[in-house]
Amino acid sequence: MTAKLSLSKRIQNKNITSKYFFINNQNSKILNLFKMPSIHYIEFFIISLGLHIFTLFTYMAYYSDLINSNYFKDFQQEYDYIIVGAGTAGSVIAQQIATETNHSFIVLEAGGRSNSLFNMPVLGPFLHGSLYDWQFETLPQRDACLAMRDKKCKSPQGKIIGGSSALNNMIYVRGNISHYVNWFQQKYTKEYIKNKFKYLEEEILHLENVKYQSDLSDAILDAAKELGYHNNLGLDFNVGFSKAVVNQKNGKRWTSPEKSGFSTHILTNVLVNKIMFDRNKAVGISFLLSGKVNKILARKGIILSAGAYNTPKILQLSGIGPEQILKQFDIPLVKNLPVGKNLQDHVTTGLDLVQFDKPVSITAMDMVNPFHAFDYFFNGRGPLTSSGCENIGFLSSMNQTTPDLQFMVLSAGLASDRGTQLKKTVNINEITWNNYISKGLDKYVATILPVILHPKSKGEVYIQSTDPNIPPVIDPKYLYNKEDVNLLIRGLRLIKEFVETKAMRNIGAYLNENIFPGCENYDFFSNSYLECYVKHLTLTSFHPVGTCSMGLPTSENAVVDNSFKVLGVDGLYVVDASVLPTMPSGNINAAVAMMALVFFDTNIRLNSEIKTDIPFCFKKDRFYNDNSMLVCYK
């Protein structure tokens, strides 16, 4: 009886304490708002107003498309190919099928259609957490994300035609070609892979140098030169610094669906329920549309391109995955494979670490300046064209020829929008905001992110329900491996070297010396302090890969073979970031698009009749020999 009373008393005290902290936090928010200088209060109001107008617009755009897809869409009961997901990979494959073959196909997309306003680059971060984002978050992390609410990191993924390429920084990096050759177990040569990238760049994507550069951009390049790094990366993997190459046209975001040719073949706002099988062959898809279950059959194949989180979820719901997980939900086993294992992501840190005594980058008011809006809409120039990342660099923290870090130089920080949106996107807790980030509201901030190119820590993704509406459990196990922590520490020390160069001093750069909350017991910038810092301020670059890894059938993590076919299952393929067995050396969008071209070339184009209803010409063996014979079909 005493124990029960004691437990009841503890629960009551806990509730009282929780209410106290809730009230205290709300009061703290109000007090901090009034502590802001009047100019910041005005900026907060203006940006908040603009953000609310933009949010209202996203709701209108989303629900108008939802109504359209619910009541004005029809589809056949059978197609040659079914593509699940209209992200980068799914869009590239659909575009190739539509323009190069006579195959029938349909693309099933869980999200809605984009619109021209969403193509304004500076608005990309404000789609995070919106209806066009899956709004995924990790499990509470043991060694990372300690400064986030509930120790959970956000992991935005695009729920929109274009997928995450509609939300990302638009950075185009080929990466290390030798890694791709190894993924395919030497099936393709470096020259073959390079020709795939060349075709991608010339025929599908549109690439430009960044249209807007702040003073920070040139200062970083000058600082890199001072430190001995060259400033000519090009598109290939290398050591050095460069201004970013982005997926834009005339200053506007350019996603793979822009030049797709498959707009009449896509069904939006549909949620795939599971794959249907006839013995060990995938024969169709079950999906939800307007709350009703529908089915479509595939004559030749089903292609999953739903991303590193949703593709393993669909496979597991369909009976393909770790047997012990499927047993928990009484899902009949089709194939026991390590689906959801080997999750990797580009991890980083360093938000608002660099401050300036004068404006050198994009400010809060640049986003709502009507003159900049005019410059964007009529000239395709100005701050609104900013991808957020102006420079990229590849560095070795151990003075080797092979880089282990990528630097992303962002012309803004978390405090740039005065707390209206970005702190929610990153999921920063109130203690960190009030005692660290908000102290930079009266400063000019920018961010240099040291990104781990090949993290040693690996996590997993698995279902938590048979309901397809329930998101999967995401446990990336960030920084479980101490080598990742040490690499980020070396990255922060490299940032300090940059800040201390003459080029950066000339624009008033200095380190933010406010002590990070939770790290007060360590000397500033000591190894112990920096370890504490990175474990608290852990960030993702939104590049999850590996959960349906490509590999040999005998490989521990293999889910698909080097032709993208799911092991032991006929008619089922996976083509998206989930098949990458390791991280590419840089932003992943280019790698995913290239893999989609390899898939099409291997599995569809070589086994198909060339489309005959329109004239079509191509070089025979065009991906192998630039001097090949030109062959035309009509």
pLDDT at 236: 61
CA dist 12 and 448 (Å) reads 46
Contact 78, 299 (CB under 8 A): yes
Contact 292, 527 (CB under 8 A): no
pLDDT at 291: 84
Q: Give CA separation, 209 vs 175, 245, 249, 251, 567, in Å.
A: 17, 5, 10, 9, 41
Mean pLDDT of the chain: 86
Q: Give CA separation, 438 vs 176, 432, 512, 514, in Å.
A: 39, 8, 12, 11
Identify residue 22 by its one-letter amino acid code: F
CA dist 38 and 405 (Å) reads 40
pLDDT, tens digit (0-9, with 9 covering 90-100), for 430-452: 999 999 998 888 788 889 999 99
**Burial letters 505-540, b for 16+ CB under 10 A, else e:** eebebeebebbbbbbeebeeeeeebbbbbbbbbbbb
pLDDT at 428: 95
Closest-CA residue to 474 (of 157, 220, 219, 4): 157
pLDDT at 41: 63
Partner residues linked to 449 by β-bridges: 408
| SS3 category, 401 | coil
Contact 408, 392 (CB under 8 A): yes
Contact 581, 549 (CB under 8 A): yes
Q: Between β-strands 389-395 and 240-243, what pairing exists: parallel, antiparallel or unpaired?
A: antiparallel
Q: Is 175 exposed, middle or buried (0-12, 13-18, 19+ CB in 10 A)?
A: buried
Residue 587 has, within 13 A of its CA and on its CB side, a CA count of 22
Q: What percent of the chain has pLDDT over 70?
A: 86
pLDDT at 19: 42
Closest-CA residue to 102 (of 571, 627, 527, 616): 616
Identify residue 223 by its one-letter amino acid code: A
Output DSSP code: residue 8.
Answer: H
pLDDT at 471: 97
Q: What are phi and psi of 109, to 5 degrees?
A: -120, 130
Q: What percent of the chain has pLDDT over 90?
A: 64
pLDDT at 360: 78
Contact 182, 193 (CB under 8 A): no
pLDDT, tens digit (0-9, with 9 covering 90-100), for 148-173: 999 999 999 999 999 999 999 999 99
pLDDT at 587: 94
pLDDT at 43: 66
Segments in the chain below pLDDT 70: 1-41, 43-44, 72, 234-238, 256-261, 361-365, 367-368, 608-634
Q: Between β-strands 354-356 and 389-395, what pairing exists: parallel, antiparallel or unpaired?
A: unpaired
Q: Give CA separation, 367 vs 123, 314, 446, in Å.
A: 9, 39, 15
Count of C-beta atoms within a 10 Å radius of residue 338 = 20
Residue 552 has, within 13 A of its CA and on its CB side, a CA count of 6
**Burial letters 16-48, b for 16+ CB under 10 A, else e:** eeeeeeeeeeeeeeeeeeeebeeebeebbebbe
| SS3 category, 575 | coil
Contact 485, 535 (CB under 8 A): yes
pLDDT at 369: 78
DSSP calls for 528-543: HHHHHHHHHS-EE-S-
pLDDT at 602: 93
